[in-house]
C-alpha cells in the first residue's frame, strides 16, 4: 500500500486506512469472527493505520479491536482513537474526562499508547473549550507517553480554522467532504492546513453509502437532489460495468493533499476489494461523466452541530 507522510508527525501512513466503526455494530450486527478477520485482512493489505472511538458501539469497537490486535506486534500498526463524544447526545471535553478516557481506551485496546488521539465531533460543543481545556489536557497525556500526536475531528469546515488559528495541533480528520460529490475539504481547508504543517486525514469516501450500490439508509442526511444525483451516477457506473464505490474510493485516494482516507467495514471481502481498487488506475473518462452528473449538486451537504459552527 502506498504511503504518505502525515504533516509534521513523521508518521508514514497508508493512503487507505481501516475504520473500525463497524466493529461497534453501528450499522448491523457483527460476529466476532468477522470483526477479527476484518482487522487482520486490513493489516495484511497494508492498511496499518486503524481508526476507532469510544463512541463507536459505546466502547465495543475499541474492545473488539483490542481482541483482534492481541497477538499482533505493536510496531506493525498505528492506532488512532478519539475522546469527548460518548453517545449521540453525550459530550464531555473536560480535562478530567480526558485523562479518564485515554486510560479506558488504552485498557480496551490492550496497549500502553495510541499514536493519535482526536477530540471527536467538536462542532457539537462550545469549541473554545477545546482550545482552552481539552487540548492542553491532551498534551499532558503526550508528556505522560500515553499519546503521541493530538488533533480533532468534525464535519463543518469552519471548525478547522477556528481551532488552528488559536493553537497548534498535529493532525485533523474531516469526513464526507472529500468525495465524488463534495470536495469542500480540499477546496476550502486543506491548503490552509498544509501551510500550517497540520496532518490531513479524510474519512467517508463513500459518504455514508451515498456513493455505493447499497440502499440508502433512512438516517442519511444529504438533500434529496444529492441522493437523486447519486443514484443516477451509480446507474451510469453500473452500465459501464464498474461499481460506483470503486470510482469513489479511487477519487479520494488520488488527492495528494490528503495523507490518508479512512474507510470502514466488518466485511473482510469489502476490504479486499478496496485494497485491489487502490492499486488500479481510475477510469478518467467515467470520472468526468460522473462529475458532470454531480455538478448541479456539487458541495451540497447538510448542517451538523451547533448552528454557529456550520
Could you read off the pLDDT of 155-168 as tens digits, one per residue?
999 999 999 999 99
Residue 308 above 70 pLDDT?
Answer: no
d(CA 281, CA 256): 15
CA-CA distance, 278 to 15, in Å (whole number)? 9
Q: Does the annotation count 56 as an active-site position?
A: yes
**For residue 218, pLDDT beyond 70:** yes
The count of domains in the chain is 1
- What is the mean pLDDT of the segment spanning 70-91? 97
| Residue position matching grid coordinates 485515554 | 102
Catalytically annotated residue among 56, 77, 86, 155: 56
The neighbour count for residue 88, using CB atoms within 10 Å, is 9
Residue 140's domain comprises: 3-309
Mean pLDDT of 88-117: 98
CA distances from 163 to 24, 138, 148, 157, 177 (A): 29, 14, 19, 11, 18
Rounded distance between C-alpha atoms, residue 37 and residue 20, angstroms? 12
What does the DSSP 8-state code read for residue 225?
A: H
Band of residue 71 on the pLDDT scale cut at 50, 70, 90: very high
CA distance 193 to 154: 14
Q: Is the pLDDT confidence value at 149 over 60?
A: yes
Which of these, 122, 117, 229, lies nearest to 179 by C-alpha position? 229
89 grid coordinates = 447526545
Share of the chain above pLDDT 90, in %: 94
Alpha-carbon distance of 112 to 106, in angstroms, equals 6
- Determine the average pLDDT of the residues in 122-129: 98
Question: Which backbone phi and psi does 80 adopt, to 5 degrees?
Answer: -120, 120
CATH number at residue 212: 3.20.20.100
CA-to-CA distance for 244 and 154, rounded, in angstroms? 25
219 pLDDT tier (thresholds 50, 70, 90):
confident
**pLDDT digit string, tens, across residues 177-204:** 999 999 999 999 999 999 999 999 999 9
Residues 142 and 116: their CA atoms lie apart, in Å, by 10
**Grid coordinates of 28:** 448491523
- pLDDT grade, residue 309 (50/70/90)? low
Q: Worst-scoring range by mean pLDDT, 19-33, 67-81, 159-173, 257-271?
A: 19-33
Instruction: For residue 19, report the phi and psi dihedrals to the nearest 5 degrees.
Output: -95, 125
The percentage of the chain sitting over the pLDDT mark of 70, rounded to a whole number, equals 99
Q: Write the CB contacts of 307 (distance below 8 Å, at least 6 apart in sequence).
A: none
Please report the DSSP string for 89-133 in residue order: S-B---HHHHHHHHHHHHHHHTSS-EEEEEE--GGGS-THHIIII
Confidence class of residue 89 from pLDDT cuts 50, 70 and 90?
very high
Name the strand (E) or helix (H) holding 248: helix 244-254
Residue 17 three-state SS = strand
Radius of gyration of the chain from its Cα atoms, rounded to whole angstroms: 18
Per the listing, cell 500498526 goes with 77
Q: What is the mean pLDDT of the chain?
A: 96
DSSP secondary structure, 128-175, as one string: HHIIIIIHHHHHHHHHTTSEEEEEEEESSTHHHHHHHTTS--SEEEEE
pLDDT band at 18 (very low <50, low <70, confident <90, very high): very high
Give the Cα separation of 84 and 92 in Å (integer): 5
Amino acid at each position: 500500500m502506498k504511503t504518505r507522510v502525515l504533516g509534521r508527525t513523521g508518521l508514514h501512513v497508508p493512503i487507505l486506512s481501516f475504520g473500525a466503526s463497524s466493529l461497534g455494530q453501528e450499522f448491523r450486527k457483527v460476529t466476532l469472527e468477522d470483526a477479527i478477520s476484518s482487522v487482520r485482512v486490513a493489516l495484511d493489505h497494508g492498511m496499518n493505520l486503524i481508526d476507532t472511538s469510544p463512541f463507536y458501539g459505546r466502547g465495543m469497537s475499541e474492545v473488539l479491536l483490542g481482541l483482534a490486535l492481541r497477538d499482533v506486534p505493536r510496531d506493525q500498526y498505528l492506532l488512532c482513537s478519539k475522546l469527548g463524544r460518548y453517545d449521540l447526545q453525550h459530550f464531555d471535553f473536560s480535562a478530567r474526562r480526558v485523562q479518564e478516557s485515554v486510560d479506558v481506551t488504552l485498557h480496551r485496546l490492550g496497549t500502553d499508547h495510541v499514536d493519535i488521539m482526536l477530540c471527536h465531533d467538536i462542532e457539537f460543543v462550545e469549541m473554545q473549550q477545546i482550545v482552552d481545556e481539552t487540548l492542553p489536557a491532551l498534551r499532558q497525556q503526550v508528556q505522560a507517553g500515553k499519546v503521541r500526536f493530538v488533533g480533532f475531528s468534525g464535519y463543518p469546515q469552519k471548525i478547522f480554522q477556528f481551532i488552528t488559528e488559536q493553537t497548534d495541533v498535529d493532525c485533523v480528520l474531516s469526513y464526507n467532504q472529500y468525495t465524488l460529490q463534495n470536495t469542500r475539504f480540499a477546496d476550502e481547508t486543506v491548503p490552509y492546513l498544509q501551510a500550517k504543517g497540520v496532518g490531513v486525514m479524510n474519512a467517508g469516501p463513500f459518504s455514508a453509502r451515498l456513493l455505493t450500490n447499497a440502499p440508502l439508509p433512512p438516517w442519511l442526511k444529504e438533500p434529496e437532489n444529492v441522493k437523486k444525483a447519486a443514484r443516477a451516477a451509480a446507474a451510469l457506473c453500473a452500465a459501464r460495468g464498474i461499481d460506483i464505490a470503486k470510482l469513489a474510493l479511487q477519487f479520494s485516494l488520488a488527492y495528494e493533499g490528503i495523507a490518508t482516507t479512512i474507510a470502514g467495514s466488518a466485511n473482510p471481502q469489502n476490504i479486499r476489494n478496496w485494497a485491489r481498487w487502490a492499486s488500479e488506475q481510475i477510469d478518467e473518462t467515467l470520472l468526468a461523466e460522473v462529475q458532470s452528473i454531480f455538478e448541479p449538486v456539487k458541495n451540497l451537504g447538510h448542517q451538523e452541530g451547533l448552528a454557529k459552527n456550520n
